[in-house]
Amino acid sequence: MNVIFMVSDGFGPASETFGRTYYQYVNKYPSNHITPLDKILVGQSRTRSNSSLITDSAAGATAYSCGHKTYNYGIAVTPDKHPCATILEGAHNKGMLTGIVVTSRVTHVDLLFGGGLCHFIPSYESKSCRKDDNLIDDSEFLFINDRVSFDNLNNTGVLPVMGLFASDHMSFEIDRDPKKEPALWEMADKALKILSYSDKKRKGFFLLIEGSRIDMAAHGNDPAAHANDILAYYKTVEVVQKFVDENPNTLVVSVSDHETGGLALGYQPTKVYPKYIWYPEVVARVKKSSNKIALEIEEVLKSRVKSKESNDEDDNDNTDIIYDLIEDIILDKMGIDDVTDEELNYIIESEAGRTIIDLSNYLAKMVSNRAKIAWTTHGHSGVDVNLYAYGKHSRLFRGNKENTDIGRTIEKLLGLNLSELTDRLFSDFKFSNTNINTRISKPKFNEIHYHDIKN
């Protein structure tokens, strides 16, 4: 039996409605046209962690992978801080092939597609973010890191294989250069072909596919980036469904670990009673993520700073030019033709007092305000998330489920015993800090919420 576990990271019920409406608008579909996910909706997943009504990503992933609730920040450990074996480890131990396909940074499987190259190359390389060894050279993986190598990759005789197509996270779909980076659905299709062709012993495979950047766009409250990564996930679901139809001994489960952003499709900007409307066309006019647009604006503003530092007598003229250039960027990249003086002044005049993340968030809010949608947080929320299943044994996932039930059901279907495997792998393990209410080191905001903005 094969299991394909799909994670639409940070994708809540409001995002499904948002994505569906956007999907209908950009494709000129009628309002009764449904998405690939709508066709396989079977229930909901409850997302709370052991320590909070609002889970973080670590606890959410642990619930699905280990079948255990744990505390926020805990990765593959139980509440008493003992390690727990994961489904992927169990599948590998059983002799199944395993794979991971994501659009975030990635980190033992047979197939690995995603980003995070800088973590695998040695410190003496200019693009490295490590301080020690070359993990790529030390591994036995066939390694690829560009689009041509990906396209030329054979479907047979290549395992184990690792494809890292970006130094850090892969691009948002709205920013992706198809000549440089494969799309999520392309990586999923390639992974399915390789794993199915390589499964000579017919023990099956376990493949994790994650639409990682749906979540990251929601952390930045960026509606256009969020929408386009949702559509990329829809295409991936179609690819997976086709595979399941051709390989009926396969189960696919799609679920989110949590909702991100607290998205609301309706916005009341003043005390005046609001109109009952939101505008997908506003989102559709945006050509790049707010991250990319913020970087472009920062480059323009650098010329203004240089002018001031050189005491240029034409500084006033330069400022006027800067305003015009910024206005052009906002019109061209964001489709906004009614930018206000207040908005321009914040973007340009508050440069010294804000960060690039502040600017990116502000640009995203300009789009959200005009689309009449809103966000309650740059973090996670505590709502239930939709649960989708298709193929063999999909009926077992019907209804409202605890997130741990999903992991345990997959464990049983694959004939795994994660409790026994945990005892075997970690019998001598002792955690250095047994106080479950403390954390050894508090993570940086960027480490949790992926708000790094880079060229």
Binding-site positions: 9, 108, 210, 215, 219, 257-258, 380
Say how many residues make up the chain: 455
H or E stretch covering 331: helix 315-334
- What residues form the annotated binding site for Mg(2+)? 9, 108, 210
| Structure token digits, residue 78 | 């139980």
Instruction: Tell me whether residue 49 is one of the annotated catalytic residues.
Output: no
Task: Render the burial of 279-299: b for 16+ CB within 10 Å, e for the rest.
Answer: ebebbbbbebbbbbbbbbbee
User: Which member of 8, 45, 57, 256 is catalytic?
Assistant: 57
- What residues form the annotated binding site for Zn(2+)? 9, 215, 219, 257-258, 380
| Structure token digits, residue 192 | 């399915």
What CA–CA distance (Å, rounded) separates 227 from 225? 6
H or E stretch covering 161: strand 161-164
For 43, 402, 439, 450, the CA distances from 53, given in Å and listed in that order, are 20, 13, 18, 22
Q: Cβ neighbours of residue 119 under 8 Å, at least 6 residues apart? A: 105, 107, 129, 130, 135
- Angular region, 399: left φ>0, alpha ψ -120 to 50, beta rest: left
Q: What is the DSSP string of 191-245?
A: HHHHHHHH-TT---EEEEEE-HHHHHHHHTT-HHHHHHHHHHHHHHHHHHHHHHH
- Give me the active site residues, please: 57
